[in-house]
Each structure stands twice: as C-alpha cells, then as structure tokens.
Amino acid sequence: MSDEQGSALLNRLLAERREAHRRYNEALTLVDRAIQPTPDFPKAPPAYDETLLPKINDTWQILSVGQQTSGDAAKLFEKQMAFNAAVVEHLNRNVAAHRDAQLALERALPALRDAFDSLVRFESLLVQFLQTITPLADTHYREIDDAVAQLRTVTDVAQRTAMTAKREVERAGAQGAQGARGAQGAQDAQVSSDALTYVGFEDKFRGSEAAIRSRQADYVQYFKGQSNVLDVGCGRGEFLDLLKENAVSAKGLDLNPEMVEVCKSRGLDATTADARSYLRGVADESLGGLIAIQVVEHLQPPYLNEMLGLAFDKIRPGGRIVLETINPACWVAFFESFIRDLTHVKPIHPDTLQYLLQASGFANVEIVYRAPIAPEGRLQRVSPRPQHYGDTAPDALTELVSSFNANVDRLNDRIFSYQDFAAIAIRP
C-alpha cells in the first residue's frame, strides 16, 4: 500500500467514525425524548351500594296483595308491574358482576401504575447506560488517536528523511561521480539531519499551519502598500503566504533548508541564508519592511544588535519592523515554551527589545502583548462579600480577602499574563 493509499484509508476510517458518532448522538437524543412520564390513572369507581337492593326488591309491586282493579287501569298496572319485575330481576343478576368488576379495577389500577413506573425507570436507566457508552468509546478512541498521531509523526519524519536523502544523493552526484565527499559531505549530511529534526519539532509543538496563520494575520496590516518585505526565519511560510494573498511582495529567509524547501513547494520566494549576511548584501533603503516571528530569542546579543542596525539601514523610511518573541515576563511562557526548544539562546524582556530598537534608530516603538492566557487558566479571586456573613463582611475578613486578591493579581501578572509580545517600530 502506498503512502497516498494509506492516508486515504485513514481519512476514510476517521470519516466513518465521525459519521457513526453523529448517528449515535441522534439516536440517543431520540431515545431520551421518547421517555414518557407516568400518566394520571383514574381512581376506581365507587362500589355498588347494595343497600339499595332490598328497597328495589320490596317496592317493585305497585299494587298491594289482594288489591283489585278493573278495566284498562288493571291492564296498565299489570304491564307496569311486569316491567318493574323485569328491571329488578336484571339488577339482581348484575350485582355480582358489578361487584367483581369493581374489585378487579381496584386491583388492576395500582398494578398498571406500578408497571408504568417500572417502564419509566427502565427507559431512564437505558438512557443512562447508553450515555456511558460514549466515554467508554472515547477512551478507546483516544488510544487509537494517539497511535495514529504517533504513526503520522513517524511517517512525516520518514518522508522528510527520504527527501533529504534524495537531495543529498543528487548533491553528491553534482559534485562528481568519482570523488568522495569527505568531511564537508559528512558535515552537510549532519546539517540536513538536524534541519529535518527541527521541522518535526515545529510541527509537533508550534501548532498547525492554520493556527499559525490565524495568529500572524494581524501583522499584515503593518506591510500593506509596501513591497520587497523580508521575512526573517520564515519557517513553513505562513506569513509569506498571507503577504502574497494581500499582494505584498516578500522574500523569506531561513537557516533550515528543509523549511525553505517547504516554502518553495508552495510557490513562495525563500532562500537559505542568515539575516545578517543577507542584509549586508541588500541595498540601503530597499526593503519595504522586515518581520521576524519567534526568531530573536535564537540569536546571540551581538548578532541581534548588528542585525537591528542593518535592518535600520535597509528599510525604507516609513517602513516597519515587527519582532515577535516569547514573553519571558510570563512564567508559563518561559517554562512551557522557551526552555522546551533547544535552539533558543536567550530570552528578551519587552523593555530590552524596545530599547534595542530605539538605540538602533527606530521610532514609535510599540510593545503589543499577544496570546493571553485564558481566564479559566488563571488563578481565581475570591468574593469580597461572602454570603454567609451577610451584607457587610467583618473588617478582618475584608482585609484578608483584599490581601489575598492582591496576591492573586500579582501572581497572574507574573505567571498567567501574555505568552508572546511583539515590538513594532517605524523607520523614520
């Protein structure tokens, strides 16, 4: 199976899983909505009043025994008595059946009510059971997703390794079929291997291309209407792509040849070079601007100072320089981002970078803080007026709460503030 076939199969399986999740959620919602409350059952009808029977049996005769009538009246009374006798006989025959029906209803209604209650409980338990399936399945899915992620990482590294090996072979062939590459060849191979490793590191920890594009889109406004913008440390080319979409011509620099190859494969202008050497060969005031995103923390201080001086000379008046880096004043950013990357050299404080730009001649240097830590990730303050103390908290408690919240704010400012900042300045 080829890589493309394997990728297509994996994508198809993931799509089938998403569709199964959708159908399961719809079915569970229908089951949940199908649960019916126990209906209001009517009460059993009152029992037949058997005290009425003696009265009916005793009063059906409308003529006294021995009483005589004549003519049409006699016939009328005889018919009435025959009717009364039939009604009394009918009532007497149905008394037992009515009594049995009454007793049956008295027993059936509670039993039916209990049955409905049991059905409702069963339906509720069924929904609860179905709801436990999702977390159980998600546990297995997470294991599968982790395995898939690891497999993709290994596959990506393998593909890049193959590309690197191919380029090394082609480079070796260009240098001559007879001669050995020697020490320089071994060094080049090591550089390629290190570059390949860092591409994988970027993919794993920096974020997806879509996420990076979203974070960098704000910087496009500083270069609109300009041309020949230089992107130092262009990486995978996310910002170059944004400038291209906004009709701003730009060139990318990166020390990592694998990154440059990624840019070129996307039709972007990029070259393998370091900023200082490249800027030395550029004509003064020929650049419309310069941006370096997550780069300056990789540079030694003397190199950074010289690069800023060169940037001032090469950027046209009115052009901007944008330097984004990790905010070391945010402890979370320092410990979770800065020290994780082995290629980082020195953290730069916002005040320091602002001063270096001013010292290099740039004007209107602005520090813009970015990537704030979400409120739920910060320490939480306590209410200054606890409910169980009434409307007015005691003075001692108020002072304690105020002191606690002040310390929380101080820690949030130090630990959970902004993870990145950008220094933005103008070449006057």
Q: What is the reported pLDDT for 223?
A: 97
Every domain of the chain and the residues it spans: 35-141, 207-426
Burial 89-100 (b: 16+ CB within 10 A, else e): eebeeeeeeeee
228 and 249 in contact (C-beta within 8 Å)?
yes
pLDDT digits (tens, 9 = 90+) for 134-160: 666 766 666 676 666 666 656 665 665
338 and 326 in contact (C-beta within 8 Å)?
yes
Q: What is the reported pLDDT for 188?
A: 46
Cα(150)–Cα(145) distance, integer angstroms: 8
pLDDT at 48 over 70: no
pLDDT at 415 over 70: no
pLDDT digits (tens, 9 = 90+) for 164-216: 566 666 666 665 554 444 444 444 444 444 444 455 555 555 667 788 888 89
Q: What is the reported pLDDT for 22?
A: 78
> In the structure, what pLDDT confidence band is assigned to residue 80 with cuts at 50, 70 and 90?
confident
Q: What is the reported pLDDT for 105?
A: 78
Cα(239)–Cα(235) distance, integer angstroms: 9
Mean pLDDT of 270-297: 95
Cα(116)–Cα(144) distance, integer angstroms: 42
Q: What is the reported pLDDT for 423?
A: 95
Q: What is the reported pLDDT for 50?
A: 59
* Amino acid letter, residue 183: A
> In the structure, what pLDDT confidence band is assigned to residue 361 with cuts at 50, 70 and 90?
very high
Q: Higher model confidence: residue 369 or residue 359?
A: 359
pLDDT at 309 over 80: yes
Q: What is the reported pLDDT for 193?
A: 45
Question: Mean pLDDT of all residues in the chain?
Answer: 75
pLDDT digits (tens, 9 = 90+) for 113-132: 887 777 777 777 777 777 77
> In the structure, what pLDDT confidence band is assigned to residue 244 with cuts at 50, 70 and 90?
very high
Q: Higher model confidence: residue 237 or residue 336?
A: 237
Share of the chain above pLDDT 70, in %: 58
Q: What is the reported pLDDT for 190?
A: 44
Cα(406)–Cα(176) distance, integer angstroms: 71
Helix (H) or strand (E) holding 313: helix 301-314
> 10 Å Cβ neighbour count for 139?
10
Q: Is this structure's pTM higher than 0.75?
A: no
Backbone angles phi, psi at 4, to 5 degrees: -65, -40
Q: What is the reported pLDDT for 305?
A: 94
Cα(8)–Cα(26) distance, integer angstroms: 27
pLDDT digits (tens, 9 = 90+) for 321-349: 999 998 887 766 655 666 677 778 888 89
> What CATH class has 207-426?
alpha beta
- Which of these, 348, 345, 367, 339, lies nearest to 425 by C-alpha position? 367
Q: What is the reported pLDDT for 186?
A: 42
> In the structure, what pLDDT confidence band is assigned to residue 91 with cuts at 50, 70 and 90?
confident
pLDDT digits (tens, 9 = 90+) for 5-42: 666 777 777 777 777 777 777 777 777 776 667 667 66
How many residues would you count in the chain?
Answer: 428
Q: Cα(first)–Cα(last) distance of the chain, in Å?
A: 60
Q: What is the reported pLDDT for 120?
A: 77
pLDDT at 381 over 80: no
Burial 22-53 (b: 16+ CB within 10 A, else e): eeeeeeeeeeeeeeeeeeeeeebeeebeeeee
Cα(89)–Cα(103) distance, integer angstroms: 23
220 and 242 in contact (C-beta within 8 Å)?
yes
Cα(254)–Cα(232) distance, integer angstroms: 7
Cα(159)–Cα(153) distance, integer angstroms: 10
Q: What is the reported pLDDT for 110?
A: 81
Q: What is the reported pLDDT for 394?
A: 56
